[in-house]
A and B are shown apart, each in its own frame.
Chain A
Amino acid sequence: MVLSAPPRSAPAPQRPTSPKSTKSTGLKPRRRIKSASRVDAFAPYMYIAPFFALFAVFGLFPTIFTFYVALFDWNPIGGQTFIGLDNFVTLYGDERFWNAMRNTFSIWILSTVPQLLLALFLAQLLNNVRLKFANLFRMTMLVPYITSVVATTIVFASLFGRDYGLINSFLNLFGIDSIDFAANTFASHIMVSTMVLWRWFGYNTLIYLAALQAIPKDIYEAAAIDGAGGFKQFFYVTIPSLRPVIIFTIIVSTIGGLQVFTEPLLLSAPGLTGGAGRQFQTLSLFMYEQGFGNFQFGYGSAIGVTLFALIVVFSVINYLLSRRITSDD
């Protein structure tokens, strides 16, 4: 197991002697020890305080404030009227919301499933001992991840272009008519998913690779002695050993996939509707359109709260599943 927490049985670290206590100040020893231990007890909290202070200001407060704003008809530059749960009632009857929900899930599945399979496959290749320049290839995996999303989207948008796109030129070679990727619902999901896949597959590949390298060689040797070939080893040794890591990548991809925003936003420009028929508008983009495009912060916040709840539900399901699966080991 690669991503497990440090062993819990590790002995508690020796409490370092405070520099103060070494000074001879003439105070009574008992008191000196007491004050030193109070400082020591406090110190760790001070070290982690910067993160939690920033998190409280930029993470926790906005989240809580979003719940509050969602109860209002809130114009960012105008008035605010308390309307209770009206925003949510409207939202759950708003077909644009369900459309965005469908798009989000469709794009999530279309990007995550091939992405993780591809990552697993590439990790297996990169783990091959006969591979030369392995480190070079491993580093290369991260290039799409560190490339600006804007640059990626612009390049992919032109690849998927209707009239001059490389993909359509390729399809035309085989006598297939050009596809208007941006206009057609399913085709646009493929386009967005491809961009998401491109951005994240390297990250997942490296995680799988790290996990693969942690599998003890003797298990494979034992399997080989028992007569298991390459495929059998993969399915009966590799996959079960990777299970916790696979669960982890699924959780992370789910959280990321439900929040896909930049790609559809850039493809949607100059509008915010994700295509004329809202065919690739995700929940995040819908939230942004309502809040910042239409000045309806209350409604936008209601979308945000719903998205938050959705992610919590999915994370809990993932957690329960992963706990069950890891306890099977």
Chain B
Amino acid sequence: MTAKKFARTVIAGGAALALLAGCSSGGGDTDGKITLDVWTFGGMGLDEAFATYQEENPNIILKVTNAGGSDEQAQALTTALAGGKGPDVAAIEVGYMSQFKAQPQNFVDLRTLGSDDIESSFLDWRWSQGVAADGSVVGIPTDVGGLAMAYRTDLFEAAGLPSDRDEVSALWPTWDDFIEVGAEYRAATGKGMIDNVNSAIFNPAVRQGSEMYYGDGDDDLIYETNPDVQEAFGYALDAIDADISSRTPSWSEAWNAGMNNGDFAVLAAPAWMMTYISQQAPDTSGKWDIAAVPENAGNWGGSQLAIPAKSDHPEEAFAFIEWLMSPERQLEIFQAHGNFPSTPELYDTEDIQNFTSEFFNDAPVGPIYANSVASIEPIFEGPQQRIIDTAILNSLSQVENGEEPAADAWSTALKNVKTALGG
């Protein structure tokens, strides 16, 4: 190699390195200030808390990116991690958590930053959703969904059903009773009582046991044999048979319209859904109320906050998460946005016990949601959790839409799960 060639190589190499360096340092730290890159998605209700933290910590610059929905956020995070990058703090919706925590090497094990000290303040089953199979703590819980049934008092009265929330809760202590009420509603009004069987029946029911699709390890697949899964599946089929569904897919335009138009009278509502309903159907204020979910336990949604392994400031990121998810902060978030705290020490306080919702006919939503999350058992979720879930739910939707006979539904579901896992 001649001197000239050598010099050229060095220059080219240097330029390439400079390019790489320019790409990898996401936020340059200027004037001794530290930039924390925070990735969230819509509906988390954290904006005011971010502003407060920014005011209280002038040395930290929060750079918040809202990806839109939880699916977009999961895809953005996947792409970033695959490219060896990522933010300092990433929100991951629980539905995606099992996929991410199956690869814990992408994240800082929060035990190294002191997560053991705060573990006891969270619901144990909720905490476990952020713990990987090897025991490393990948994510700190944000809010907890909890589960209740939001129902329309006006439509219940028109159908000749009781409309008082305690009486309504008493109507359906079990899922069989719930389906029975739906059949009465159909007979009286000719309409479906629930939005769809996946959201209103299968999802809540299947999470009321202690196991779902996995036993106690990544390789211990029990979706086929677990009686809880078959039972929940059976309830959904019974509900379709009794014709209690309005066949309105969740998150569709028709769903949003239906909240206004009274196409359905009952909606499985985790705490964060209260804000969604009040935004989608503002004119129905006071016509909704909240009753207990059958079997009185359930959860839908919530997220974990994780720190990708490539973060330059894991300590600062963890301190931020610790502050953000402290009981005091979670209470403020709940009061402003309805996202229910995952820290049970708050549940017996007056702030929660006396919390009512004007939109929902002054229902005491604080104690209702506190009750729904108290009796939940931790469920182990393996890496293919969401894939299995999708296959089973799709099979139920096919029956609900009249595209497949109910008799074949379970075997179709199993076949679809096997295809999905084999692929």
Contact = CB atoms under 8 A, between A and B. Distances in A.
Interface of A: 75-78, 90-91, 94-96, 154, 157-158, 161-164, 180, 183-185, 269-271, 273, 276-279, 290, 292, 294-297, 299
B423 A163 contact: no
Interface stretch (B205-213, B231-239, B390-398): B390-398
B159 interface: no
B257 A164 contact: yes
10 contacts: A76-B78, A77-B100, A161-B254, A163-B248, A180-B401, A271-B394, A273-B390, A276-B395, A277-B397, A292-B75
A96 B404 CA distance: 17
Contacts of B285: none
Interface residues of B, number: 36
Contacts of B423: 90-91, 94, 96, 290, 294, 296, 299
Nearest to A292: B75
Contacts of A296: 423
A180 B240 CA distance: 17
6 closest residue pairs by CB, A with B: A276-B397, A76-B82, A183-B401, A78-B103, A276-B394, A77-B81
Interface in B384-423: 387, 390, 393-398, 401-404, 419-420, 422-423
Interface centre among A95, A183, A299 (most CB of B within 10 A): A183
A194 B75 CA distance: 29
B254 A163 contact: yes
A277 B403 contact: yes
Given A157-B253, A277-B404, A290-B423, A270 B69 contact: yes
Contacts of B82: 76-77, 297
Interface in B340-375: none
Nearest to A276: B397
A164 B71 contact: no
A292 B78 contact: yes
A164 B78 contact: no
Contacts of B254: 161-164
B419 A271 contact: no
Contact of A96 (B102, B257, B397, B419): B419
Contacts of B253: 154, 157-158, 161
A166 B82 CA distance: 44
B394 A94 contact: no
B6 interface: no
B78 A277 contact: no
A140 B22 CA distance: 45
Nearest to A161: B254
Interface centre among A77, A183, A270, A299 (most CB of B within 10 A): A77
Interface centre among A157, A180, A273, A290 (most CB of B within 10 A): A273
B236 to A, nearest CB: 13
